[in-house]
Amino acid sequence: MDRRDFLRFTAVAPAVAILPRLAAAASEGRRLLILVELKGGNDGLNTVVPYADANYERLRPRLAIAREQVIALDERTGLHPSLEPMLATWKDGKLAVVQGLGYPDPNLSHFRSIEIWDTASKSDEYLDTGWLARALTRSPSPKGFAADGIVVGSADLGPLAGGTARTIALTNPDQFVRNARLAQGEGEGRNAALRHILKVESDVQQSARRIAARANSAPLFPRDPSAMPCAPRPSLPPTRRGVSAIRLTLAGFDTHANQLGLHATLLRQLGEGLAALRAALEEVGRWDDTLVATYSEFGRRPRGNQSNGTDHGTAGSPLRDGRRRARRDSSVPPRRWAASTATATCRTPSISGGTTRHSSRDGGKPTRRRCWARATKPCPARLIS
């Protein structure tokens, strides 16, 4: 297995491995939300390509995806060729693309912008808890669920941080269960810090018991994606061990330089990962009540930079996948794609939250970036489905 092969699959592999243990039951009417964070700021314009627009090739002479390679979704828009594994889902009418999704007064710093997304705050508002943690605090998961949320392969809990929600972070379910014996899970907390540690210990214990007690111990997914099972297995006995939300992270989307090959690899991981998730969800009978959604801290500027990359932009084009995808939106498509799929700003990335090392090289010449999309008003997000 070469490096690309294993990279391709690992971002979702732990989630795929845990699904049969946790999501094998449409428990008590609770649906499943799977969030996929594309860390670094995914380039929405090369993910969902506005191939029919003359501006696209004009602004990206070296970065545009060739028209004949784009997987056309309609007469204006198409997917990056690496997202080919998503085509089946699209043809089933189970994939939606939200173009031009952003928030007012966008912040171009990675950490502040993802904080705004994760906490669902206003641009100038600072909140301590993630939006999902708040939602799950208000509407806790049914009793017997292994956890409210599971964060796979990321140190920070993002939208699941804070609050009283029970969130488990893990990289490998088996290892989690093995190590859970180290958590004692009881005791009296004399201060807030100790109470927090004891709560995490007891969450670990509860979750590990339920994750360990799975009905079917056969490995559901081989490492090699080409050996994916295609026939559904006999359905697992219904259980009540569920989970309300899962968050995965796919990193590396900060494509300031040499974007084309890098982005193609990343999107292939994403496409294959989402297809693998779908297969896993179908196998456990949860595809019908699951929503898979991607998000990213921002999109990237329409105009390519001097390093064959793109710099921080504002809006992106997240995907919604699953039978529970958002319904067709009635909002009017924007007149110009540029205004909505990635509203450019005049700010150079060097002033965005200390990311100077990301700034594009302009050959030392102080170029004044023309801001051709500035005059257009923010448009309602366009939803293709």
Partner 1 sequence: VNRPAWHDPGPKTVLGKTGRFDGSEVLDILLARDETAEFVAGKLWREFVSSSPDAVEVRRLGAVFRDAKYEVKPVMRALLLSEAFWAPENRGALVKSPVELVVGMLRVFDVRPMDLRAAAIVCAVLGQNPFAPPNVKGWPGGEAWINSATLLGRKQAVERLLRNDDRAAPQAMPAMDMRAPAGSREERLRRAMERGLAAYQVDWARWTRAAPEGEKLQHLLLALEPAHEIPAAATGPERARRLAGDPVFQLK
Residues that bind partner 1 (CB under 8 A): 1-3, 6, 10-11, 13-14, 109-111, 151, 153, 155-157, 161, 167-172, 175-176, 179-180, 182-184, 186-194, 196-198, 200-201, 203-204, 207, 223, 353-354, 364, 366
**What is d(CA 47, CA 79) in angstroms, rounded to the nearest whole number?**
6
Supply φ then ψ for residue 293, to 5 degrees: -135, 135
Task: Supply the minimum distance, in Å, between the C-beta of residue 162 and partner 1.
Answer: 9
Q: How many CB atoms lie within 10 A of CB 94?
A: 20
Task: Supply the minimum distance, in Å, between the C-beta of residue 190 and partner 1.
Answer: 6
Task: Supply the minimum distance, in Å, between the C-beta of residue 76 and partner 1.
Answer: 37
C-beta closer to partner 1: residue 54 or 182: 182
Residue 249 is encoded by which pair of tokens? 């992270």
- C-alpha distance across the termini of the chain, in Å: 36
**289: which DSSP letter?**
G
Task: Supply the minimum distance, in Å, between the C-beta of residue 53 and partner 1.
Answer: 33
Counting every residue written for the chain, the total comes to 385
Task: Supply the minimum distance, in Å, between the C-beta of residue 175 and partner 1.
Answer: 8
C-beta closer to partner 1: residue 112 or 336: 112
Q: How many CB atoms lie within 10 A of CB 384?
A: 18
Task: Supply the minimum distance, in Å, between the C-beta of residue 74 and partner 1.
Answer: 36
C-beta closer to partner 1: residue 354 or 380: 354
C-beta closer to partner 1: residue 196 or 233: 196
C-beta closer to partner 1: residue 69 or 184: 184
C-beta closer to partner 1: residue 127 or 198: 198
- SS3 of 269, please? helix
**What is d(CA 47, CA 38) in angstroms, rounded to the nearest whole number?**
12
Supply φ then ψ for residue 287, to 5 degrees: -60, -35
Contacts 24+ apart (CB under 8 A), 176-182: 176/204, 176/207, 176/208, 176/211, 177/208, 177/211, 177/212, 180/204, 180/205, 180/207, 180/208, 180/209, 180/212
Task: Supply the minimum distance, in Å, between the C-beta of residue 55 and partner 1.
Answer: 28
C-beta closer to partner 1: residue 53 or 115: 115
